[in-house]
Structure 1
Amino acid sequence: MAAANDLSRILPAAVDGFDAQRSAQRHLIQPWPVASSIGATALGLIGSGEGIYITDGDGRRLIDGPAGMWCVNLGHRREELARALYEQALQLSYNTPWYTMNAPSALLAERIAAHAPVDLGHVFFTTGGSSAVETALRFMQFMNNVRGRREKKLILSRGAAYHGSTYLTASLNGRPRERDWMDGVEQLVVKLSCPDPFRRPPGMTVEGFADLLIDEFREVVARIGADRIGAFVAEPVQASGGVIVPPPGYLKRIRQLCRDNDILYISDEVVTAFGRLGHVFASGDVFDLEPDMITFAKGVTSGYFPLGGVVISERLLEELRRTNRPDALFGHGLTYSSHPIGCAVALRNLDLLEAGALEHARAVAPYFQDRLKELEDLPLVGEVRGVGLMACIECVADRQSNNPLALDKDVGRRIDQHCQALGLLVRPLVNMCVMSPPIVITTGQIDDMVAILREGISRTMDDLRRDGVWQG
């Protein structure tokens, strides 16, 4: 592998922070911009990465706390993954998926199916998470059309959910700030309550909260009619909503209600799959679920190539094959479906996961959770929650009301700025900080990460007191 600085011969703007940022301000539209600066901003520059670390445009080395965007599971600059990409590109860089196929996609589908829960044996490959969830939803619509149930199309989602950025998938999202200025297919989506035990009604037990959520589901199905509801879509752990781990048993109970009412259960594992919770899929191995479909992306290639997909139940496909509408066309596909390079990288990624990375993730996850939990002794921290190698530090103004710092919606960004100065990149979400480092992180590196977080939160507390927005 060439040294990072050798990239200057090919991409000078990637290592020259001033030029790259000036070009971005002139020509690059960044994701999630606000109207006042759209097309005129430059975000922090990342120049290189190695292992769990990235180096920013100023040459500072930081722990990559979010693992890119939940995706760099095996860490940066893994030569095995880079070589898989390179070698496949030299052999076959692309084939049209409409009337040809490639061997890496067939092998990858077989290996992924072997890790999925019983009966989920077929894979449709997409380009990422949004297109994976979109594919699952379009498959549900197609299936109900073929079955003669054209009214059975409503989709149940939940508060604080995140399922994508396409027109349909974004309609499922449950974070209010995304709904203020963007349109969606409101008539197709029914929102259920967020299953966040931290925000349960005062005085209610976690078990009682789970019962409340189940009763709500039953009430919605009874009111709307099961004959109109096509699918329930749920992340096993709501990632971008703040690493919300649902009450024990809640997902299995919802799964049974879906089965009882002929509602397809789509488990959105774009974040939780491929090692984040120590398994290739968390639905079966962690939550004891057998969904009808599982969506995935991100960690399937450790972020080295855009790839996603849907694992679909054999039962559903068999039902379609037996239909009296054998000519019905599932008219859905993408130019880069089953991309040979992406599938080749994913195969090598899966090799590395199976060879020890999954076992390592399961081994260090309890230490990761325990060390982060220690941050609850800081007055600003209301709760530290998580599972596997994903966690959230939620900050509150006071622990009696769990007020999410209503006077300062930017507390997560404040913490991130302090942590970056100390050597850690954080994923700030309003009053929360999300941590999901590469799953190859060691216990010593976890210690470093927690120490920086503690100092960053402590400095933020000093800032808030000085600015008069918090009295803790």
Structure 2
Amino acid sequence: MSLDLDMSTDGVLTADTHLVQSFADLNALKQDGARTVIVGAEGAYVTDSEGNRLIDGIGGLWCVNAGHRRPEIIAAITEQLETLDYYSTFYNFTHPTAATLAAKLAELAPGPLNKVHFGNSGSVANDSAVRILHHYYNRLGQPKKKQVLSRHGAYHGSTHLAIAMTTPGYSEGWDKAEGLVHHLRCPHHWREGADMSEAEFLDALIDDAKDKVEEIGAENIACFIAEPIMGAGGIIVPPAGYHAAMGALCRDYEIKYISDEVVTAFGRLGHFFASKDVFDVQPDIITTAKGLTSGYQPLSATILSDEIHEVISDEGAMFLHGMTYSGHPAASAAALANIALMEREGIPERVRITGKRFETNLCALSDLEMVGEVRGSHFMMGIEFVRDKAAKTPFASEDQIGLKVARQAQKRGLIARPLGNILILSPTLVMDETMIDSTAEILRESIVEVQSGL
């Protein structure tokens, strides 16, 4: 079977009429010119079918941390495929690449997180974490501990359980796992804090969590799951001390703490893992994906504490969970090469400098009339647009302000991600100072252009 991959003048693949795209307005995609077709990439740039070279301001999808087309990663994948293309990690089978990667992740992860289960996406990693904990509590004779605490504004994936743990707006019109997940208050001080100081808002958040635990009963709650910084929920940074305080609350009530580092790990915030180094919390489980391979292969990891593993590996305990591609050799090789590259080039350490420049440059956009808040950290930033800055009045959804700014930015050579009234930036971590400054200039010009047309 041959595919017609000729490009039409509007940049749409003729074969693309058969592709169902994720998180898209499928009706709008029926229109000619609605898609941007990416045909090449290198470093911090991608190239579209019209020949435009664009700064990849979303890093593929939060994931191309090491940059595009790195020969070291490509060579590692190729060599692995030529040696062992595939074998499973089921039953008593294993292979050296997955075992070596598990050992490396145990070395990088904080505290006693030394056992690694592989999957193929962040959604699967988070589903696996909850499923493992349900089994863990069954083994301990506490079968009622099944409930999950999440938060409004969270994003934990799109599988049936992960979407239930995600903020409710992402499942509108769709079904999800019911009866398991309870959403705590969103930790967004600028929007939710009213007249409270940040410290007062933190106290209110912890009180809200305590009230919810008391309402449900700690004996019924398996875990609390949280992103260090909320990603697809709008780049929400919690008040200082939030994660440490929630970690203490979870310990007091014997609730396991899952840190969803699908986005924040592997250098995006300047460390391989952000939970302990940046937010001073020791999770019982860390989940990760995306930057684990810099997007070169699909791979995720659910990293467990020794204590959890001891219970689920005790005599008579069968681990009845796994996926065909768990620990795939080529994906594991990609991750090992990616981590080695990051260590060799000191990418996380460099991000502590370049990421701060990126953050500072974007925060300077706050002087623009319709920029309500610029928030985030390092190479994980969001810009929220408002109709009235003093009152924080949002634009109507039909105004599509984020989309309008993103389109203006793309005309000027930058891909950014619109999310309602928010524009998200999560670029590759290999941007230099010139490119960082250029990104901020493009964003300023684009926002001014849209602002002038209101």
Identity %: 42
Residue 162 of structure 1: which of 141, 155, 173 is its match? 155
Residue 46 of structure 1: which of 38, 59, 66 is its match? 38
Structure 2 CA distance for partners of 1:66 and 1:213, relative to 1, 3 Å:
same
Q: Does 2:428 align with 1:452?
A: no
State the one-letter code of the partner of 2:175. Answer: D
State the one-letter code of the partner of 1:354. Answer: E
Residue 321 of structure 2: which of 313, 332, 335 is its match? 332
Q: Which residue of 2 aligns with 1:209?
A: 201
Partner of 2:355, secondary structure, is helix
Residue 281 of structure 2: which of 281, 289, 292 is its match? 289
The aligned runs of 1:370-381 (5 Å cut-off) are: 370-381=360-371
Partner of 2:13, secondary structure, is helix
Q: Does 2:142 align with 1:153?
A: no
The aligned runs of 1:3-14 (5 Å cut-off) are: 13=5
Q: Which residue of 2 aligns with 1:263?
A: 255
For 1:338 and 1:179, locate their aligned partners in 2 and report how far apart those are by CA, in whole Å.
29
Report the Cα offset of residue 424 of structure 1.
0.4
Structure 2 CA distance for partners of 1:140 and 1:409, relative to 1, 3 Å:
farther
Q: Does 2:390 align with 1:397?
A: no
Q: Which residue of 2 aligns with 1:109?
A: 102
For 1:133 and 1:409, locate their aligned partners in 2 and report how far apart those are by CA, in whole Å.
34
The aligned runs of 1:69-468 (5 Å cut-off) are: 69-99=61-91, 100-176=93-169, 178-322=170-314, 326-355=315-344, 356-406=346-396, 408-464=398-454
CA contact (8 A) 1:273 1:280 kept: yes
Structure 2 spans left out of the alignment, 5+ residues: none
State the one-letter code of the partner of 1:192. Answer: L
Q: Structure 1, residues 341-374: CA drift from partner, whole Å, max 9, x if none?
A: 0011100100111112122111212111111111
Provide the TM-score with structure 2 as the length reference.
Answer: 0.95
Structure 2 CA distance for partners of 1:365 and 1:14, relative to 1, 3 Å:
farther
Partner of 1:130, secondary structure, is helix
RMSD, aligned α-carbons: 1.8
Report the Cα offset of residue 380 of structure 1.
0.6
State the one-letter code of the partner of 1:331. Answer: L
CA contact (8 A) 2:140 2:311 kept: no
Partner of 1:336, secondary structure, is coil
For 2:4 and 2:297, locate their aligned partners in 1 and report how far apart those are by CA, in whole Å.
22
Q: Which residue of 2 aligns with 1:31?
A: 22
For 1:215 and 1:72, locate their aligned partners in 2 and report how far apart those are by CA, in whole Å.
38
Partner of 1:454, secondary structure, is helix
Structure 2 CA distance for partners of 1:170 and 1:14, relative to 1, 3 Å:
farther
State the one-letter code of the partner of 1:327. Answer: G
Structure 2 CA distance for partners of 1:78 and 1:15, relative to 1, 3 Å:
farther
CA contact (8 A) 1:28 1:40 kept: no
For 2:6 and 2:86, locate their aligned partners in 1 and report how far apart those are by CA, in whole Å.
26
CA contact (8 A) 1:412 1:429 kept: yes
For 1:409 and 1:101, locate their aligned partners in 2 and report how far apart those are by CA, in whole Å.
53
CA contact (8 A) 2:4 2:14 kept: no
For 2:28 and 2:409, locate their aligned partners in 1 and report how far apart those are by CA, in whole Å.
25
Count of matched residue positions in the alignment of Structure 1 and Structure 2: 450
For 2:336 and 2:89, locate their aligned partners in 1 and report how far apart those are by CA, in whole Å.
19
Partner of 2:20, secondary structure, is coil
Structure 2 CA distance for partners of 1:435 and 1:11, relative to 1, 3 Å:
farther
Report the Cα offset of residue 175 of structure 1.
4.6
For 1:342 and 1:412, locate their aligned partners in 2 and report how far apart those are by CA, in whole Å.
34
Q: Structure 1, residues 363-399: CA drift from partner, whole Å, max 9, x if none?
A: 2121111111110010010111111211111111112
CA contact (8 A) 1:28 1:39 kept: no
Structure 2 CA distance for partners of 1:337 and 1:253, relative to 1, 3 Å:
same
State the one-letter code of the partner of 1:367. Answer: R
For 1:185 and 1:381, locate their aligned partners in 2 and report how far apart those are by CA, in whole Å.
37
Structure 2 CA distance for partners of 1:438 and 1:172, relative to 1, 3 Å:
same
Report the Cα offset of residue 147 of structure 1.
1.4
State the one-letter code of the partner of 1:436. Answer: S
Partner of 1:47, secondary structure, is strand
Report the Cα offset of residue 150 of structure 1.
1.4
Q: Structure 1, residues 400-454: CA drift from partner, whole Å, max 9, x if none?
A: 2211212644100000110000000001110011111111111110001000000
Q: Structure 1, residues 299-344: CA drift from partner, whole Å, max 9, x if none?
A: 011000000011100011223445xxx3232210000001010011
Q: Structure 1, residues 72-94: CA drift from partner, whole Å, max 9, x if none?
A: 00111111111111111111110
Report the Cα offset of residue 115 of structure 1.
1.0
Structure 2 CA distance for partners of 1:408 and 1:15, relative to 1, 3 Å:
closer
Structure 1 spans left out of the alignment, 5+ residues: 1-9, 465-472
For 2:109 and 2:201, locate their aligned partners in 1 and report how far apart those are by CA, in whole Å.
30
Structure 2 CA distance for partners of 1:50 and 1:422, relative to 1, 3 Å:
same
**Greater Cα offset, 363-372 or 292-301:** 363-372
State the one-letter code of the partner of 2:66. Answer: L
CA contact (8 A) 2:65 2:294 kept: yes
CA contact (8 A) 2:299 2:331 kept: yes
State the one-letter code of the partner of 1:337. Answer: S
State the one-letter code of the partner of 1:109. Answer: A
Report the Cα offset of residue 40 of structure 1.
7.9
**Greater Cα offset, 200-209 or 304-313:** 200-209
CA contact (8 A) 1:394 1:433 kept: yes
State the one-letter code of the partner of 2:126. Answer: V
Report the Cα offset of residue 28 of structure 1.
1.2
Partner of 2:231, secondary structure, is coil
CA contact (8 A) 1:24 1:40 kept: no
Q: Structure 1, residues 104-148: CA drift from partner, whole Å, max 9, x if none?
A: 111111111111111001111110111111110110111111112
Report the Cα offset of residue 203 of structure 1.
1.3
